[in-house]
Amino acid sequence: MTAQPQKKTQNAVTVQPEWALHKAMWIAFPSDAELWLEDLAPAQEEAAAMANLIAEGEKVYMLACGDEAVASAKKLLGKNTEVVPAEFGDIWLRDTGPIWASVNGAHTALRFKVNGWGGKYDYPADRVIGDFIAKKSGSPIKAFDLVLEGGSLENDGEGTILTTKECLLNSNRNPGKSQEQIEDILKEAFGAGKILWLDDGLLNDHTDGHIDNIARFIGPNKVLCQSPVKNDPNEKVLKKIAADLEKMTAANGKKIEVVLAPSPGLVTGYEDEPMAASHMNFIIGNNAIAVPTYGTESADSAVAAIQKLFPDHKVKGLKSTSILTNGGGSFHCMTQQEPKE
């Protein structure tokens, strides 16, 4: 699939899917030594490897917090990247950054409320980093009265949004809003015609079940999710996700086509607890796709499955172990694409 601009309708809202052509990719660099501890340097190397791959096809803005982080980023990054000094709490720009849309033909930054993933990781700078990025990109802001992280929804660019009840209907996000009210806001913000709801995300996912760890739109009406491997701690939930998707239809009335790639299986953290490791947390660039890997046997098969789906892209598996085990996320979580149109 070659990155191309999607159709844009005047006097309406259009949010491009991730595979549409990008103007730039915004990424946050692991910066805080108190947060990352001994994982800081390896996490920085993992982030830089991903950024350099994406930069082969588009401009990359790498946000770094503090003089030492800025210096480290400049040392590790290659061509077509710009290091931007910025204040942020943690690196998860997918959740704290803007989501760009065409609103009545204008390139606009959609902004939602940030509450630290339900109050678990509440850094004040994360509430304003999205405004900083919007200003630097020259985009006007359209704000909505909804706590929403970008990683909690997937958009196919043609009117269908995929999300999870575990996250968006969680009492720690929007306790005063019903499912119907949340759907109405999503439809207004994204120009969507239908919201598809899965139930739960991965075990021990401190985002409360973000969709970008379990199921990804890879085209209109087409969703990639994971098949469990041997001794997979998420076996039941992964099977349910695929089965539920098989029963769904998109906004255009067509049946959702489900494609499978293998899960990483069991990946443990410092206290041997299962981590929310996922090959679904890949990021699609104009020319390349970075797939997070964690040293498990299924990595090569997962990368090959995604390469088959995107034959015009360079699909590469890249180590994301330190980003996951310390930070809890991976490549998609720390990036936000700015579409060309």
* Catalytic choice (65, 167, 225, 333): 333
pLDDT (tens digit per residue) in 72-83: 999 999 999 999
Q: Does residue 336 surpass a pLDDT of 50?
A: yes
> What is the radius of gyration, based on Cα positions, of the chain?
18
pLDDT tens digits, 145-197: 999 999 999 999 999 999 999 999 999 999 999 999 999 999 999 999 999 99
Determine the angle formed by the axes of helices 40-54 and 67-76, rounding to 10 degrees. 50
Sheet strands (E) in 75-234: 81-85, 99-103, 106-113, 141-147, 153-155, 160-164, 194-198, 215-219, 222-227
Helices and strands (H, E) in the chain, number of each type: 11, 17
Mean pLDDT of all residues in 43-71? 98
pLDDT at residue number 167:
98
Between the CA of residue 171 and those of 116, 153, 164, what are the distances in Å?
A: 14, 17, 13
What region does 268 belong to: left with phi over 0, alpha with psi -120 to 50, or beta? beta
pLDDT at residue 7 is higher than 80? no
Compute the distance between CA of residue 123 and CA of residue 89 in angstroms, rounded to an integer: 5
Q: What is the pLDDT of residue 330?
A: 98
Token pair for 135: 């200003």
DSSP state for residue 325 in the 8-state scheme: I
pLDDT > 70? residue 34? yes
Q: Where are the domains of the chain?
A: 13-339
| C-alpha closest to that of 201 among 151, 142, 248 | 151
Between strands 22-28 and 59-64, the pairing is parallel
pLDDT the model gives residue 9:
43
Q: Please, which residues have CB within 8 angstroms of residue 195's CB and are 6 or more apart in sequence?
A: 160, 161, 163, 183, 186, 187
**Active-site residue, 167 included:** no
Confidence band for 1, pLDDT divided at 50, 70 and 90: low
Q: Which of 97, 103, 101, 99 is nearest to 84 (CA)?
A: 97
pLDDT in tens, 120-134: 999 999 999 999 999
pLDDT over 70 for what percent of the chain?
A: 97
Query: Model confidence at 3, in pLDDT bands (50, 70, 90)?
Result: low
Please write the tens of the pLDDT for every residue from 253-271: 999 999 999 999 999 998 8
Q: d(Cα 96, Cα 100) in Å, to the nearest integer?
A: 13
Residue 70 in tokens? 């800025």
What pLDDT is recorded for position 5?
47
Q: Above 70 in pLDDT, residue 8?
A: no
Separation of alpha carbons 138 and 244, rounded Å: 40
Domain 13-339 architecture: 5-stranded Propeller (3.75)
